[in-house]
Structure 1
Amino acid sequence: MPQDLRLRTLEKDDLEFLHKLYNDPNVMDYWFAESHYSFQLIKNRFENNLESTEHRQFILCSNGERIGFVGLFSISQRHRNAEFAIMIDPGQQGNGYAEPATRLAVDYAFKTLNLHKLFLHADKVNEKAIHIYEKVGFQTEGVLREHVYVNGEYHDLVTMSIFQ
């Protein structure tokens, strides 16, 4: 694991970093969203989610430097599951952060939140990400054919999960 890699709670002073990620088409294409987020929208969402029990949002850091963002969304206490999502700053991609960051999030979900299952959605063309998820223990549950529209074409969406 890269030295000093950790997840810390998303704070207000991280919103500029998040704004940069949310407006990068190379990042947002894999989140199946348009890369068009105003800073005010990001700030409003942050403020509206401060007391939410349905989301946990983290900044991935290494030696005090922001590396990426990790989120657990739609946390269901009743069903004990949540959706996992991650984005690594494009300037930090290829440095081996994604796998240990995913492991940190899985550990938090299972050991702290006592969730039973984490699931995620990945673009089938994102083979590197799928490989990392498989190394961590995620398994494919199914494929939704031509489910997302990215850069003028439809892509298959792979649904994966891991159990506690």
Structure 2
Amino acid sequence: MFETDRLHLRAVREADFEKLVALRNHHRVQKMLSPDFVVPFGIKSEEELRARCSSSLLYVVIETKQNQEFVGFVSLFNAQTKNCDAMVALGLLPEFWGQGFATEVLRFIIDYAFHQLAMHRITLCVYGNNTAAIKVYNKVGFVQEGVQRKANWIDGKWHDVIWMAVLDEDWEDSRQDRADPKI
């Protein structure tokens, strides 16, 4: 189990799949995580989540230290071994948005990826209308690398898909300002 100041990041347990499916089914979360139509997911979603957990480089459940309340998940996936690059995905229940949990989790995961998993870069994509997430990604060191213009249909409008990444050398340069995370 990993920990940050306020959170535990732990391996997925059997009982977590119901919560992970519920998170994926939350309409506010789903439209920010998936390029698909916002529709209720059922048993097939759980099967897909199980496959994603087993194929990811890292897939952990996030819960509060204080009362072990389910917050969400973070994942490193699609790792390119030769290029030392992995994608990151983060999903939090809306009641935990705006409390600094995303920043806390991402700082830990990025540091872990660079120092323990020997990654060179961490990549992500985010929808252009997700301004809160973009602020967090910029805050923790991600840099915009590209834009797919009007590539995702959400709420009756086209939105850009923004590609961002952080490199290990940029991360090292930024570490002087922060305390080392607890691994």
Q: Quick check: TM above 0.5?
A: yes
8 Å CA contact retained: 1:145, 1:155? yes
Give RMSD over aligned pairs: 2.0
- Map of 1:89 onto structure 2: 93
**Distance change in 2, residues 1:145/1:93 (3 Å):** same
The unaligned stretches of length 5 or more in structure 1 are none
Asked if residue 40 in structure 1 is aligned to residue 70 in structure 2, the reply is: no
- What is the aligned partner in structure 2 of residue 16 from structure 1? 18
Aligned-residue identity in percent: 28
Q: 1:87 to 1:47 in 2, by over 3 A?
A: closer
Report the AA paired with residue 29 of structure 1: K
**Would you say 1:156 and 2:160 are equivalent positions?**
yes
CA deviation profile, 1:93-123 (whole Å, cap 9, x unmatched): 1222110111111122112211111111111
Task: Kindly report structure 1 stretches of 4+ aligned residues shifted beyond 6 Å.
Answer: none
Instruction: Sort the Cα spacing of 1:49 and 1:125 in 2 relative to 1 into closer, same or farther, 3 A.
Output: closer
Segments of 5+ residues of structure 2 without an aligned counterpart are: 169-183
Question: 1:15·1:42 contact (CA, 8 Å) conserved in 2?
Answer: no
- Return the alpha-carbon distance in structure 2 between the equivalents of residues 47 and 126 of structure 1: 27
2:131 counterpart of 1:105: no
Deviation string, structure 1 residues 128-160 (Cα, Å, up to 9, x no partner):
111111110100001110011112221011110
Structure 1 position 18, deviation (Å): 0.5
Mapped to 2, the partners of 1:51 and 1:14 lie a distance apart of 14
Matched residue pairs, number? 163
Structure 1 distance, partners of 2:128, 2:53, is 33
Q: How many Å separate the matches in 1 of 2:160 and 2:109? A: 25
Match of 1:131 in 2: 135
8 Å contact from structure 2 (residues 150, 160) kept in 1: yes
Greater CA drift, 17-26 or 42-51: 42-51
TM-score, with length taken from structure 2 = 0.80
